[in-house]
Every structure is written in structure tokens, then in C-alpha cells.
Structure 1
Amino acid sequence: MENTKNPIVSIIITTYKRSDMLKRAIDSVLNQSYKKIEVIVVDDNEPSTQYRKETELILADYASNPKIKYIRHPKNMNGAAARNTGIRNSKGNYICFLDDDDWYLSDKVKEQVMYLLDNKKFDGVYCGWNRNNKEVIPTKEGDLTFGLLSGTHLVLTNTIMIKREAAILCGGWDERFQRNQEAAFLLRFFNHGYRLGVVKKVLVQFDTRDRSNVADPKENEENFNFYLKIHEKQIEACDKVYKNGKKIIYSYRYRGVLLNYIKCKEYLAAFRFYLRVIKFIPLRFNIDLLIYITKKIKDCTVRL
């Protein structure tokens, strides 16, 4: 039963190979202005690694803190599995997620709790963030399925707060995904009829220095093929609501894949990928690509 006046919030921090950044994330949660919280740290490092040893040493400093629960995975299982472990072991009315290299601003939890208490039509809420000294303040709310499928709208893991009941009933995080995990989770959330509100403030800070987990272009292509295949039914549903919705989703996503090949200077692979894509969405893909390139040229000209 939800405590409507002072709900418990469970913050799930997953950690893997970034023990050097973990303390900052934990402290950002403990220093929240909203105090009725529990912190669940899920250690997804392999037990025999130095990362596990370092993480255990860090958590030993918090052993006397009753708000912190430390759970060790028996093996590396991936971020989605770690978040599901956190959900299963949580007791909060609401759940938040935090990666080990990022941190919350002090009023993040309070602002989102107040929002959900005041806006009963929503089962979750997200907020703005700062990444690479660029603030992003989102405004969209409700069912964001089309934006997530097409990539035209972002909802990042660390910005989310949702009702624990909703997280469980929608099936939790899809552990088949190595990438696009938050989008896959939220697509389950929306598919169950839940809606997301928004706090139009920057409440999360991202640290992008560690790029060791970035997928190579071929892997990126495979990940998006999998992402689109798993969500075919929702793509078809979007096509009935949005004009050319299906073509837009595939065109935008594959444009990103193509540009990633080019960014990594894999030009032959990029050309081969381009030929594959234009076999089934030739006109739409070329138009979207031309619009994107034109905009980039215009932006560069303005800056000059």
C-alpha cells in the first residue's frame, strides 16, 4: 500500500568496472533532501576480479548505514539483470535507477516524489539532465513510444522514477538487451498502459569520461536490428497513429547506424549498409539523410 504522504523511495545503483566512481554516486543519494530512501547497490562484477574487491572495500565504509543494502551477483549478468535484482530486493513505493559513474543533484528524489503525489494520472516521471556541460530539459509526457522507437526523444535511465508496482507488472527490464536497455524497459512500461510525467528541471549529472563500454559500428548495427525486431508490434501500432510512422522509425534508426560507421571511418561498411537500407526504404531514407546533412552544414556555417 502506497504511503501517500511520505512514500519510501528505493534507489538502485548498479556497478560494473567503475568502483573508482561508485562512492560519488552513493553519496549523491545519501545527501538527497528527501530522506525516506533506501539505497540498493547491485555489484555485477565477476567475483574474482579486482573490481569486485574494490567495490567490497568501498561498501565496507557504509556497512553501518541501515539505508544501504549491498547485493553481489554470482557472475556478471548485465545492467538489465542487475536492475531487476534491485527491484526484487526493494521495498519502496517508488523506484529510481542510478549508474555508478553518474550522480543526482540534491533535490532529485524530492522533486519527483512531489510530482507523482500531485499528478496521479502518471505512474512514473523523468527529469532533465546535464551531460558534457549541456543541459537538456525535456517537456514531453504521456506515452512516448514513438519517440523512443524512432530515437527522436530520449528518456535516460538515471532520470526515471516509477511506481514499484508498475515496474514489476510490466515485466521489469528485458535482460536480452545489451544496449538500448532503458528504451526497451520503457516500451514495456508504455505497452502496459502506463504514462510518464516530466519534471522540467535538471536533476541529474552525467559523467561521460569512461567510454570503454561503447559498441563498435557492426555491433551497433546488430543491436538496433534486434531492438527493432523485438518491438515490431509496437512499430506497427505507431504506423497506424503516425503518418509513415514505420518508415520514419526505420529511417531514423538506420541513419544513426550509417553515421556511426562513417564516424568510425569504416567507409566501405557504411556504403554496404547504405545499399542494404535503400532496398526497402529508398525514398524516405535518402530524404532524411539529405535533411540531416543539410542541417549539419547549415549549423557549421552559422558557427563560422
Structure 2
Amino acid sequence: MPKVSIIIPAYNAMTYLPQTLESVLRQTFTDFEVLIVNDGSSDPILKWACGIVDPRVKLISQENQGVSAARNTGITHTQGEYIAFLDADDLWESTKLAKQVHCLEENPAIGLVHTWIILIDEQGKSLGRVISSHAEGNAWKQVVEQNPIQTSTVLVRRCCLETVGVFDQNLRSAEDWELWVRIASRYLLAVVKEPLVFYRLHSHNTTKNWRLIEQGLSPVIEKVFQSIPSEAQYLKHRCYGHSNIYIAWQALQSDDKDCEWTRHFLSSAVKYYPQLRYSRQYIRLTLAIAIMKWFGPFGFSRVMAFIYTMRRHVFSI
């Protein structure tokens, strides 16, 4: 039996999937299986999969049911003691699995370990921004307040999923966050404080559709807080506040770069959680809105491109 099972859901993902799989096969930790779940794709994934010679890689095909169903299908076929998730457009640094497996092997009380991420563009070029998280130990409140865990960074014990269940296929967005909340309520978390996952930003990211995210977030937040003790219900307003900040960013960075909706969500965030006015993300977003107002959508894109270039130069990444 492999030690680790890696699940890659794929829906018309051939633009990036070969690079994603290559980053897995370059791992220094090699005791794994890869389950690529073809979720009803119309691209040539079947033909491509026929050319894969590594016996650790398997393709599972199903009718299109969505990413949560694809991940759950993968889970049912896994054999490993540990389960990792990887989106079909993201990449792993070569030591990612080795460092996470070591963490779980050395710390039996840890149920889930995640890592930091670095943002890349469509060509795989670093945008110079590292997204860090310090959600570790008894981090349930951190996970509830705002989602600090990106799915492609996760390595989780199989027994955790057997205890708390899998992804809720009825949720339209943030279904991964809802699962991390369930896990964090029962198990300790760990984080490898290195950017070991490359998160790709491109025009087809599901997070680009801020309207869909807005429609889906309220149901998942309400579901999460149905099972939270009354003494922790104060976190609900904080959660809505952080969620509105997140949607505001997505609205500003969408193709239509909607400043009015961005301001609306930013205002809503502060109404839910006034302390956000002094947060780094609030200040950054306010500055970004000002740049959009001064330079327009085209100028905004050029300014952001310049900032990314400077980040790459300063941090040499």
C-alpha cells in the first residue's frame, strides 16, 4: 500500500495538468499513488492519460459532478494512510510531501498539515507574493474566522476523513473550508512555514467568479455556525467580515474590475467586523481601489504588473 494518496480533480484541465503531474512525479518522497479524477472533461485527457507510463498514476473518469464530488470519488479509491489534494493548475515544490509526511510521522496528534503558498501567473512565473498561515495546534477558531488553508497544500490522515466525513457536495463554494473546520474541531493542525505550493492565477480560476462566490458563501457560513457552541457565535460576524473582504478583492481583480461592488463589499466587511478597518488587508484593498480610480482598469493592471515585478526582484523569487 502506498503511504500517500494524491487526488487531482480535473475538468478540462489539460492546459496545466501535465505540468501539475510532473511536479508530483518530481517529489523527493516517492511512496505515493496519484488518482486523477476526470470530471466529465471534453478535452483530450483520456488520450493523454494513455501515454502515462508511471504505474503510480491512475485515471478515474466520471460524469461531470463538480470538484467536491470529484475529490470524494478520489477519496473512495485511495489506499494511502495519508491523503493529499492538488488542483489541476497548481504545482508542488519537490520537497513538499517529504516535509509533510515527516511532520505527521513525528507528531501522531496532528491530523492535518498544510504549507504556505506562492502565487504564480499563467506561465508559471512567480508574482512575488507569498501567502503565509500560522494556523497550527488547536487552531479551530482561526479556521472558523477565516480560511487560512489552501486545498493544494493539505496532507491529512485518512482516519480524520473517516471520522468527520468528506466534502459536502451540496455546497457551491468554500466546501473545502467547511471540511477544514470539521477537522480542526477534532484534531490539531500543523503548518510547514515554507512556500511549498505554487498557486496559479489565471482567467479560469473559480475564484474569479465573485458573484458565484457571494451566492455560495452565506449558506456555507450558516451551516458551519449551526454546530458551533453559543459562546463562540461571536466569530460569525468576524467570519462574514473576512468573507466580504475576500469577495471585494475578487470583484476588483475580475475581468470587469468592478469598483462599485468592491466598495460595497468593503463597506459590508467593516459593518460586520469594525476592527477590520485597521487590518492590513483593508488598507491594501483601499489603496488598490484608489489606484483603480486614479489610473483606470488598464492603468491598474499595469501598476499591479509593476508591483509584481518589483516583488520578484526584491525577493529573488
Same fold (TM over 0.5): yes
Q: Cα 1:21–1:295, aligned 2, differ >3 Å: closer, same or farther?
A: closer
Q: Aligned ranges for residues 1-304 of structure 1 at < 5 Å?
A: 8-46=3-41, 49=42, 51=43, 54-62=44-52, 64-73=53-62, 75-131=63-119, 132-151=127-146, 153-191=147-185, 193-214=186-207, 216-234=209-227, 236-237=228-229, 240-241=231-232, 244-257=234-247, 264-265=257-258, 267=260, 282=271, 285=273, 288-289=276-277
- 1:116 alignment partner AA: L
Report the Cα distance in structure 2 between the residues aligned to 1:136 and 1:260, rounded to whole angstroms: 16
Deviation at 1:112, TM superposition (A): 0.7
User: How far did 1:212 drift?
Assistant: 5.0
Work out the CA distance in 1 between the residues paired with 2:284 and 2:210: 23
**Distance in 2, Cα, partners of 1:258 & 1:212:** 16
Return 5+ residue gaps in structure 1 as ranges.
none
In 1, Cα distance between the equivalents of 2:174 and 2:31? 31
How far apart, in 1, do the equivalents of 2:32 and 2:40 lie?
25
Report the Cα distance in structure 2 between the residues aligned to 1:86 and 1:205, rounded to whole angstroms.
Answer: 22
Give the Cα separation in 1 of the matches to 2:259 and 2:195.
36
Deviation at 1:207, TM superposition (A): 1.6
TM norm structure 2: 0.77
Aligned equivalents of 2:209, 2:92: Cα separation in 1 = 29
C-alpha change, 1:163 and 1:253, in structure 2 (3 Å) is same
Gaps of 5+ in 2: 120-126, 292-306, 308-317
Q: What is the SS of the residue equivalent to 2:37?
A: strand
Q: How far apart in 1 are the matches of 2:55 and 2:144?
A: 40
How many equivalent pairs are there?
280
Check 1:241–1:13 CA distance in 2 against 1; reply closer, same or farther (3 A cut): same
The Cα of 1:139 is off from its aligned counterpart by 2.9
Q: Secondary structure at the match of 1:247?
A: helix
Evaluate the alpha carbon distance shift between residue 255 and residue 112 of structure 1 in structure 2; reply closer, same or farther with a 3 A threshold: closer
Is the 8 Å Cα contact of residues 125 and 198 (structure 1) preserved in structure 2?
yes
Q: 1:124 and 1:293 mapped to 2: Cα distance?
A: 29
Q: Offset at 1:232?
A: 1.8
Structure 2 CA distance, aligned partners of 1:274 and 1:107?
A: 38
Aligned to 2:48, what secondary structure does the other structure show?
helix
| CA pair 229-34 structure 1, distance change in 2 beyond 3 A | same
CA distance in 2, matches of 1:212, 1:140: 25
Tell me the distance in 1 between the aligned counterparts of 2:131 and 2:276: 24
Cα drift, residue 141 of structure 1: 0.2
Q: Residues 261 and 270 of structure 1 are in contact (CA less than 8 Å); yes or no, is this contact kept in structure 2?
A: no
Q: 1:268 to 1:11 in 2, by over 3 A?
A: closer
The answer (yes or no) to whether the contact 1:78–1:178 under 8 Å persists in 2 is no
Contact 1:11 1:38 in 2 (8 A): yes
Q: CA deviation at 1:253?
A: 2.4
Q: Percent of counterpart pairs with the same letter?
A: 22
Query: What code does the residue aligned with 1:162 have?
Result: V
Q: CA deviation at 1:35?
A: 1.3
Give a deviation string over 1:82-113, Cα, whole Å, max 9, x none. Answer: 11111110100111111111111111111111
TM-score, structure 1 normalization: 0.80
- CA offset digits 1:224-264 (Å, max 9, x no partner): 11121111235x43x6258x433322333234445655664
For the residue of structure 2 that corresponds to 1:267, the secondary structure is: helix
1:153-197 CA distance string (max 9 Å, x none): 521011110111212221111111232122112112123x12211
Quick check: 1:261–1:267 contact (8 Å CA) kept in 2? Answer: no
Residues 201 and 89 of structure 1: is their aligned pair in 2 closer, same or farther, counting only changes over 3 Å?
Answer: same
